[in-house]
Chain A
Amino acid sequence: DTAVSQTPKYLVTQMGNDKSIKCEQNLGHDTMYWYKQDSKKFLKIMFSYNNKELIINETVPNRFSPKSPDKAHLNLHINSLELGDSAVYFCASSQGAHSSYEQYFGPGTRLTVT
């Protein structure tokens, strides 16, 4: 059973398009996250939701909009895609919002903007 799943795994699109990445976790966790990993493997948090409430919102362009329809899902919608958005996006979840809790990561979505 997959704990944290993301779709799609690969996403190739052109500049200016709008795309979404979906994330689901079946661990019963109440906190979910989106991370961005750039080409140098640097990983940085973008957003965090606890019980469907936004608790972390890093300095991310407002073209990025997370949506959490329920505790098990956290989707990421990106408007007007730019070349610099090319990266691997990871979803993660944890039981509790405190950062000492172990976070479980999905396999990642590799976004390529051409």
Chain B
Amino acid sequence: AQSVTQLGSHVSVSEGALVLLRCNYSSSVPPYLFWYVQYPNQGLQLLLKYTSAATLVKGINGFEAEFKKSETSFHLTKPSAHMSDAAEYFCVTRKGDKLIFGTGTRLQVFP
């Protein structure tokens, strides 16, 4: 069954440090994978999506994710964290016509 697992419900980094949010997927077929971000008291916004065209996917706000089939991973990274990156991040896959959300990772950025 298609699902995603996010490792770490909370991640804390200093401003300017590397951001790494981990996501592993389980799928019997090539998956569609997404990262959505939810800023405090707001709705979700698409950061990026993988659709098998390229393994390295670039998104908005300097984020990118790499699809690694051998590791069944789709980790989200950003070279240098900014205070405004503090939010909840969701790794998402699909099952039929439905999006299946991971449990989320809260990113805190310290000055």
- How many residues of A are counted as interface, with CB atoms below 8 angstroms from the partner's CB atoms? 23
With A43-B90, A100-B32 as given contacts, are A105 and B98 in contact (CB-CB < 8 Å)? no
B83 CB within 8 Å of chain A: no
Q: Does the CB pair B104–A41 fall under 8 Å?
A: yes
B71 CB within 8 Å of chain A: no
Complex interface: chain B residues within 8 A of A56 (CB): 97-98
B99 CB within 8 Å of chain A: yes
- How many residues of B are counted as interface, with CB atoms below 8 angstroms from the partner's CB atoms? 21
Complex interface: chain B residues within 8 A of A42 (CB): 101, 103-104
Nearest chain B CB to A32's CB is how many angstroms away?
Answer: 13
Q: Does the CB pair A41–B88 fall under 8 Å?
A: yes
Q: Does the CB pair A41–B43 fall under 8 Å?
A: no
